[in-house]
Structure 1
Amino acid sequence: MRNKNFPRVMMFLMIFFLVTYPSPSVSGKVEDTAHLTLQKTIISKKSLDTYVVQKGDWIFNIIRQKFGASEKEIVKILEQVKQLNPEIRDIHRISPGQELILPNRETLAAAEAESKTRLKKSQGNDKDAEEASALPYVVKEGETLSDIIHSELSAVDEDIYRMLRTVKRLNPNVKNINKIYPGQKLLLPYVGSQDRGERGDQLSGKGTSFIAVKRTEPTKVVKKKILREEEPVVEKEPAQLKEEKKTIIPPEKKIAVIRYILSRINGSVISEGKYFIPLFPTGQITVDCSSVPVIELDDGMTVLLDFSGSIPSGIKQVIETTWKNYVIMNIGYDKDVPFMVEEIINKSKDYSCKSVRNFVTVGHTPSIRLYVDWIVSETESKGEKPYSFGIKNVKNSSSLLPGNIREYSDKKGFEVVELLRGSEVVAMSETFDDAVIPVLAYETNAVLAESLLTILGYEPEKAADVEIYNMKEHGFSLLLKVDLFLTFDNKRVILHSKQIPQHFIDALKERGMNYVFLPPEQKKESVVETVLSAIEAPFVADTFRFSFSQSEGKIGGDIVLAAIRTVNKNKAVYFVTQDIDPGINGLLQKKWGVDLIRY
């Protein structure tokens, strides 16, 4: 019968083989990038303890009791406990009976000493060697830093960012390395002993050249292709960027954008320091987070962003086989940030990111349509409504959503993250002050009519006596007390809530007065239209759209408003039945010169 432990034994042998006897292809890859370090026997059975969680335990108390650690030491030890137990989604939520793997005192002391030694040695050696081998260079007329890195260092596009960081480090006296001028002296990193003047004659084919990458091991010359259509890496203000030319975005900016978006779903990005992945029982993998950022998602998934494809396939297989919640993603630096985010989020179990490139409707008072490129949403609702937010890629400032729109969308539970050409998160644009909507009084239809006329600037007379017949002309006198009597432009209008005989109406008409009947059962919308007709104000009842964020003939959204529209004193007035958000009302007033009146 086959031994049940056979698969575990095979896995152990495979890991042991990879850690202790890496193949030439694997070792070469590690040497090229130095992103990953395999360390044998860092973690052994003797240096680990198993602890079974008891009722009432919590992680800080366990560490404090076991190690007698101070608060500062607890934080350091906690990081090692997290690394030793990557399958635990939240180390702060543990339950009785759960097993934890803990380091012992000797392991902690050794790890601390090794870390200090390695850091000191690395900093000293790297800095001294780098500065000693640096070469002076004088900037020429019309050159950008991109030109210099391409021509003098023979760097391909994927190496520009690494070279740029090195140039910054070698020139600490230059405040802004992206703003250089003719005659300025710079130090450039040494990239090999081959004479630069001879490189053009030694190309083995069109579009290729040799570049040497500096390492702690003996230098190797790696054959790479150089793109002839170079692009500057000089950082500019967003308004100065040309839309027709794709701009190189520094990795730091991309990581900052990814970090901001993932924070919306409680994800985090580690882009500094070291990250340890245990490979039991023989060792661990150390990840340089500045080269391979590590993303920890809220559902326990951990994603390693391998931008340069530096992690060997064998190592990737070991990590992903050992830890089911670890994923290594090969993403090139040339990929736009939103597409990176889409791939990362779709590794999560709890959230999904979909490309929609369409309008979504937010709110009801009023209803607002927003154009978004991506929607991130919960796969299963943890509350009454699944959490979701949108990502919108904008090209210029005119494409940005008005601040009032973003605030309204936030209040309605749909945040919109705006990215300026995928390179940076855009802060909320100008926000206009809130404006309260005036509300017409309404007790009866006559009161509504009076309030409407007053707010439009008319002065109706209430409970007026109107003469229908007089003694001189008819031999008798008849007065009618009406609800409202209005005089404007040599015209007279009676608005009354009671019906009168037709011959009375005809008599009033003969005397130049227009009688308007407002029955008590008449709906408010109809009353508004009747009053506007009585004062001969043109109006239309319809659904109106106020478009915003227009760019290149496309709109970023619109405010959808059902209203009765009229013009009063050369200004548009919209009568609405809804209680419109004050922020949206403020935007309508300032941007479109619209007055809203609620009835």
Structure 2
Amino acid sequence: MKFYTQTIKNISFLLISLLVFISPINKSLAQEKGEEETYSISLVQTAEVGKEIIEVEDKKILTETYKVEKGDWIWQIFREKGLLQKQNLAELLSMLKTLNKDLADLDVIHPNQEIVIPLVISPVGAGPAVAKKATEPISPETLKDIKLENYTIRRGDTLVKVIRSRYEISDEKLYREYLELVRGLNPSIEDLDNVSPGQIVKLPIWTPQVVRAPVVHKASLKPEHVAQKARRTALAYQLGQILTHMGEEWVHTGHHFIPLKSGGHIDLKGDSFPIVNLFNGYKVIVDLYNAMPEKMGTVIESSWENYAIVHLNENDNLRTAFDKVLPACHYSKIYKLGEPLDLRGDIPFRIAGDWIIQPTGSPGGEKEKMIMITLVDDHTPRTPRAIQDFLRTQGIKVIDYPPADDAFEPAAAKLEVLKAGNDISSLIETILNLTGQPFSRGVEIPIYKSGKSNFNLVMKADFLLKVNEKDCIIDLKGLEPDIATLLEEHQFKVLLLAGDKDPSSIVSKTLDLLGVQFDSKPHDFMAAERDQQKNITLTIPGIVFQANSGKNIFATPLEIPDDIALFLSQRGYDILNLTLS
């Protein structure tokens, strides 16, 4: 009976909902965007367990109560629920604050906090749709007093998140003024809610007057203060460049507003207190001038577990400053100068630099396994692009700092690698040709002939050649020991290779027969002509000998990656692949 009563109530609720929401809908609204259905249909269809329809003023809102988990933030929640792509995002954010009176700052939410999320907003009486006014590019005259910065979109960015991380700006100013200004500055961006990694966006540096107020000239600084500021600015630029190359975010403009759990917030100027936003969720405040009071730092770190503060002093240079910043980043492992790292594989290699960093990874799981940073100067050779490309395939990003002015290198054409051939016979012929050794194949050689000519011994040589005025035979079929002895008695030098299936062994024995010098031990190649403490060493098995043309031949049984083949070619080697096809 109880089940029956409850069923009747559910049916009644659905009927009432249908009567409330089924109404004529303007066709232009329904056609405005394919994936956004009309409000009334959406509300009826999505009113389900965990969701509730409430009425605020003249609107009906489909809502969902969400319990905040550690690491959550509003923009992430909106993205997961597909709200960032909505055309009425500004209205949804405004309604979010209306529904959550305790949500004073959209950038500050706490674990276990319950938030009412507006999913769909339906006007009680929807009027005709209003056509959007086309965005007009801003004229140069309008821009002359506005300071701009270029921002490169990174994976996981939304434009609103980027803007909020840089400037103190209210929701009203953001959605009514600032985003319109951004649209005008970036007319090629059709949808500000849909930006792609690598895209460059012009952002106006925001102040309450959008930097249109007259410039107020400050009192002149003393020369020593000017010099100190110049050094600190240069150091901040260097730190920012390295961290950006690592894939982290360096924010050094605008103001940072850090809320306190006890209420209020701390305001830090970005040019004096740049912040590193790390992929692992941590944030590092860099106190460039060692000006932050100790108590203020304690308050920040006690309020937020993911914040760390690094104080620099006037004697810090790039190395000492980076040595302070890195431990605060909570990376998995950091190797310093003098701590090389050996990595195994088909081509074992050792990396050694000023720092080798093992990050903790990124949300997408695409972060490098290792980052190698080497400080270089104008006289220090940089890591060849071919080696950087090879290490990138192994999950290692190489950063030589500062980057060279001509850091861009065009892609090289694929190198032709010499092939050993299909079988051992082809391999021997390749070696003989490379060394310039004349030879004959399949030659019949009379070994013994009786005086009465009634008994003759003739053998067929696989390879017949003359080395240092001595006749030599290379046999692949398997001569009888007595025949080999008889040949040697007749002043022939015999190389028996039947049964030897190792191409490296065959090459070594052939070169030895020819009297050609060779080196068959594994070879160590240093990536750059610089100190071994700051270098990359590759260990590649193979045989090195000199061809008749004067070129060095590197014969190896490995399938050499194209990047390594290019590197060896740049070192003057031709690659001979000993794999028999």
TM-score range, shorter chain: 0.5 to 0.7
Please show how residues 144-543 of structure 1 align to structure 2 within 5 Å. 154-156=222-224, 159-160=226-227, 162=229, 250-251=234-235, 253-263=237-247, 267-279=248-260, 282-332=263-313, 334-349=315-330, 351-362=332-343, 364-378=345-359, 387-420=369-402, 427=407, 433-443=413-423, 445-470=424-449, 476-487=455-466, 490-501=469-480, 504-509=483-488, 511-521=490-500, 523-543=502-522
* Whole-angstrom distance in 1 between the partners of 2:320 and 2:406: 18
Residues 74-127 of structure 1: CA deviation (Å, up to 9, x unaligned): 9x99xx9895444669xxxxx9956789xxxx97448999999964398646x2
Given residue 382 of structure 2, which amino acid in structure 1 is its aligned partner?
L
Larger relative contact order (Cα-Cα within 8 Å, sequence gap ≥ 6):
1
Greater shift, 293-302 or 254-263, is seen at 254-263
Alignment check: 8 A CA contact 2:487 2:494 kept: yes
Instruction: Name the structure 2 match of 1:180.
Output: none
2:152 — aligned with what? none
Aligned-residue offset at 1:403: 1.5
Confirm or deny that 1:53 pairs with 2:74: no
- Structure 2 residue aligned with 1:574: 554
User: Retained in 2: the 8 A contact 1:573–1:597?
Assistant: no
1:434-461 deviation per Cα after TM superposition (whole angstroms, max 9, x unaligned) = 4343231253x44443343244444543
Cα distance in 1, alignment partners of residues 396 and 210 from structure 2:
50
- Alpha-carbon offset, residue 57 of structure 1: 6.9
- State the secondary structure of the residue aligned to 1:250: helix
Structure-2 separation of matches of 1:464 and 1:404: 47
Give the Å deviation of 1:419.
1.3
Query: Which string of whole-angstrom CA distances, capped at 9 and with x for unpartnered residues, describes residues 255-286 of structure 1?
Result: 432441441xxx32211122222235753332
Residues 227-275 of structure 1: CA distance to partner in whole angstroms, max 9, x if unpaired? Answer: xxxxxx7xxxxxxxxxxxxxx8714522432441441xxx322111222
What SS is found at the alignment partner of 1:292? Answer: coil
Where 1:321 maps in the other structure, the secondary structure is helix
User: CA 1:280–1:62 in 2, change beyond 3 Å: closer, same or farther?
Assistant: farther
Could you tell me which residue of structure 2 aligns to residue 10 of structure 1? none
Encode CA deviations 1:45-82: one digit per residue, 9 max, x unaligned: xxxxx9942899735866899986279999x99xx989
* Alpha-carbon distance change, 486 to 304 in structure 1, aligned in 2, over 3 angstroms: same
Q: Are residues 270 and 426 of structure 1, via their aligned partners in 2, closer, same or farther at CA, if it must alter by over 3 Å?
A: farther
- CA 1:293–1:99 in 2, change beyond 3 Å: closer, same or farther? farther
Is the Cα–Cα contact under 8 Å of residues 269 and 296 in structure 1 kept in the other structure?
yes
Matched residues in 2 for 1:575 and 1:367: separation?
Answer: 17
Distance 1:558 1:428 in 2: 23
The one-letter code of the counterpart of 2:209 is K
Q: What whole-Å deviation, never above 9, does each CA across 1:473-499 have from its counterpart, x for those lacking one?
A: 865322212322234564432222344
Asked if the contact 1:296–1:302 (Cα under 8 Å) also holds between the matched residues in 2, the reply is yes
Structure 1 residue identity aligned to 2:240: A
Residue pair 1:585, 1:596 contacting (<8 A) in 2 also: no
Structure 1 contact 403–431 (Cα < 8 Å) conserved: no
- Equivalents in 1 of 2:210, 2:361: separation in Å? 49
CA offsets, 1:406-434, max 9 Å, x none? 111111111111113xx989946798654
Q: One-letter code of the match for 1:120?
A: Q
Question: Per the alignment, do residues 596 and 65 of structure 1 end up closer, same or farther by CA in structure 2, a change over 3 Å counting?
Answer: closer
Q: Show the counterpart of 1:588.
A: 568
1:66-215 counterparts in 2 under 5 A? 69=90, 84-86=106-108, 108-109=171-172, 119-120=208-209, 124=213, 127-130=215-218, 154-156=222-224, 159-160=226-227, 162=229
Shift of 1:295: 2.0
Q: Secondary structure at the match of 1:58?
A: helix
8 Å contact 2:384–2:528 — kept in the other structure? yes
Secondary structure in 1 matching 2:568: helix
**Cα gap change, 1:456 to 1:96, in 2 (>3 Å):** farther
* Displacement of 1:307: 0.9
Structure 1 counterpart of 2:66, one-letter code: V
Report the counterpart of residue 138 of structure 2 in structure 1: none
Alpha carbons 1:401, 1:429 under 8 Å: kept: no
Between the aligned partners of 1:81 and 1:272, the Cα distance in structure 2 is: 26
SS in 2 for 1:69: helix
Q: Tell me the alpha carbon deviations over residues 349-378 of structure 1, each in whole angstroms, 9 at most, x when there is no partner.
A: 454434243333356343333321212114
CA distance change for structure 1 residues 311 and 87 in 2, over 3 Å: closer, same or farther?
Answer: farther
Asked if the contact 2:65–2:117 (Cα under 8 Å) also holds between the matched residues in 1, the reply is yes
Once structures 1 and 2 are overlaid, which stretch shifts more, 485-494 or 407-416? 485-494
Aligned pairs, how many?
428
Give the letter for the 2:394 counterpart: K
Partner of 1:598: 578
Residue 309 of structure 1: SS of its match in structure 2?
A: coil
- Separation (CA, whole Å) in 1 of partners of 2:496 and 2:321: 66
User: Which secondary structure state, in structure 1, belongs to the residue aligned with residue 240 of structure 2?
Assistant: helix
Residue 544 of structure 1 contacts residue 562 of structure 1 at CA under 8 Å; is this kept in 2?
yes
CA separation in 1, counterparts of 2:85 and 2:471? Answer: 90
Structure 1 portions without partners, runs of 5+: 1-49, 90-94, 135-152, 165-232, 234-247
**Aligned mates of 1:316, 1:553 — CA distance in 2:** 40
Q: Offset of 1:397 from its aligned partner?
A: 4.5
8 A contact 2:504–2:556 mirrored in 1: no
Decide whether aligned partners of structure 1 residues 129 and 280 sit closer, same or farther in structure 2, where only a CA change above 3 A counts. Answer: same
Q: In structure 2, how many angstroms separate the alpha carbons of the residues matched to 1:161 and 1:595?
A: 54
Distance 1:274 1:555, change over 3 A: closer
**Match of 1:160, as an amino acid?**
A
Cα distance in 2 between the residues matched to 1:489 and 1:408 = 44
Match of 1:42 in 2: none
Residue 181 of structure 2 corresponds to none
| Pair 425,521 (structure 1): closer, same or farther in 2 beyond 3 Å | same
Matches of 1:425 and 1:361, distance apart in 2 = 31
Alignment CA distance shift 1:516-1:109 (3 Å): closer
Aligned-partner SS, 1:398 = coil
Give SS of 2:289's match. Answer: coil
AA of the residue aligned to 1:542: K
Taking structure 1 as reference, are residues 262 and 505 closer, same or farther at Cα in structure 2, changes over 3 Å only?
closer
**C-alpha distance in 1 between matches for 2:419 and 2:427:** 10
Q: Which whole-Å CA distance do the structure 1 matches of 2:86 and 2:395 have between them? A: 44
5+ long unaligned stretches in structure 2? 1-62, 69-75, 119-168, 179-204
Q: Supply the AA of the counterpart residue of 2:271.
A: S
Task: Check conservation: 2:236, 2:288, Cα contact below 8 A.
Answer: no
Instruction: In structure 1, give the amino acid aligned to 2:381.
Output: S
How far does the alpha carbon of each residue in 1:274-318 deviate from its partner, in whole angstroms, 9 at most, with x for none?
222223575333222122112222233222221112223333333
Distance in structure 1 (CA, Å) of the matches to 2:473 and 2:85: 87
Match of 2:18 in 1: none
Q: Which amino acid aligns with 1:404?
A: A
Aligned to 1:242: none
Classify 1:303/1:384 alpha carbon distance in 2 versus 1 (closer, same or farther; 3 Å). closer
Paired residue type of 2:318: V
CA-based RMSD: 4.8
Instruction: Give % identity.
Output: 17
